[in-house]
Amino acid sequence: MPPTEYARSSPTSECKVLNAKKGVITKMKILIINGPNLNLLGLREPDIYGRRSLSDLEVICTDAVSGTGTDLAFFQSNHEGAIVDKIQSAYGVFDGIIINPAAYTHTSVAILDALKAVCIPTVEVHLSDISSRESFRQFSYISLYAEKTICGRGFDGYTEAIAYLTEKYGKH
Ligand code: CA2
């Protein structure tokens, strides 16, 4: 069962102040992080995760920002510490993070803490609707920081996350 005593608390007032100081960002830089096993997209479990690959996803996201002035960087790792390192290195470099932490969604206080530490506006994305799957998938540590969570929209979840961050924080 999900620990019900926890509630989404993002962004903290400290982060709000920090991010407000940045003002409107003219050329947004967004980091898209995919967690363990998402490198297998398109190869297994097509009924849940679809038939398209991780490279297809990167092309779709890149096409979505084409001509908008938004820059994307992509990172996938099967290792929790590597994801923590990447989030730490995003500080002062990226204006937004889109993360599908995959299985670490349900276990990783380390990734939650790294996101909280860098104070970068974050959208959590899941290809499947984790709220209607096994009970162990229904709690997300990452949702305690992410300012928005998009579930069950497949690849569209990532482009919706890009739209959310650019509309909220970018120049338009
Ligand atoms: O729905 C999502 O996006 C998930 O984050 C995917 C994770 C799962 O552990 C989460 O509960 C929900 C699993 C990613 C595994 O991806 C695969 C892709 C193709 C074949 C096998 C696994």
Contacts of 117 (CB under 8 A, 6+ apart): 87, 88, 91
Known catalytic residue at 172: no
Over residues 90-114, the mean pLDDT reads 98
**Residue among 24, 27, 58, 29 at smallest CA distance from 158:** 58
Distance 5 CA to ligand 1 centre (A): 26
CB-CB contact of 118 with 90 (8 Å): yes
Q: Which atom of ligand 1 is nearest to the CA of 137?
A: 11
Q: What is the pTM of this model?
A: 0.93
Q: What is the mean pLDDT of residues 116-137?
A: 97
Q: Which of 44-48, 70-74, 139-143 has the lowest mean pLDDT?
A: 44-48
**What digits encode the pLDDT tens for the residues 13-24?**
778 777 777 778
Residue range 102-122: mean pLDDT, rounded: 98
Confidence of residue 170 (pLDDT cuts 50, 70, 90): very high
Report helix, strand or coil for 150. Answer: strand
Residue 10 has pLDDT above 60, yes or no: no
Q: Tokens for 123, please give them.
A: 């959208």
CA 49 to ligand 1 centroid distance, Å:
7
For ligand 1, whether the C-beta of 41 sits within 6 Å is: yes
pLDDT digit string, tens, across residues 62-82: 999 999 999 999 999 999 999
Mutation test of ligand 1: which of 33, 38, 108 has the most ligand atoms closer than 8 Å to its C-beta? 38
Q: What is the mean pLDDT of residues 40-68?
A: 94
Write the pLDDT tens digit of every residue in 151-165. Answer: 999 999 999 999 999
DSSP H helical segments within the chain, as ranges? 13-22, 46-49, 54-65, 80-89, 109-118, 156-169
Counted residue by residue, the chain has a size of: 172
Q: Which of 37-46, 70-79, 113-122 has the lowest mean pLDDT?
A: 37-46
- pLDDT band (50, 70, 90) for residue 145: very high
The residue nearest atom 6 of ligand 1, judged by CA position, is 102
Report whether 151 contacts 130 (CB < 8 A). Answer: yes
Q: How many Å apart are CA 78 and CA 87, to the nearest integer?
A: 14
Query: Nearest 5 degrees, angle CA 76-CA 116-CA 126?
Result: 45
* 3-class state of residue 9 by DSSP: coil
Clarify whether 49 is annotated catalytic: yes
For the CA of 39, the nearest atom of ligand 1: 18
119 dihedral zone (left: phi>0; alpha: psi -120 to 50; beta): left
* Cα four-point dihedral sign 22, 69, 112, 156: positive
Ligand 1 binding pocket includes 142 (Cβ within 6 Å): no
> In the sheet that 29-34 helps form, which strands lie side by side, from edge to edge?
71-76, 29-34, 96-100, 122-126, 148-151
**Residue 7 pLDDT grade (very low, low, confident, very high; cuts 50, 70, 90):** confident
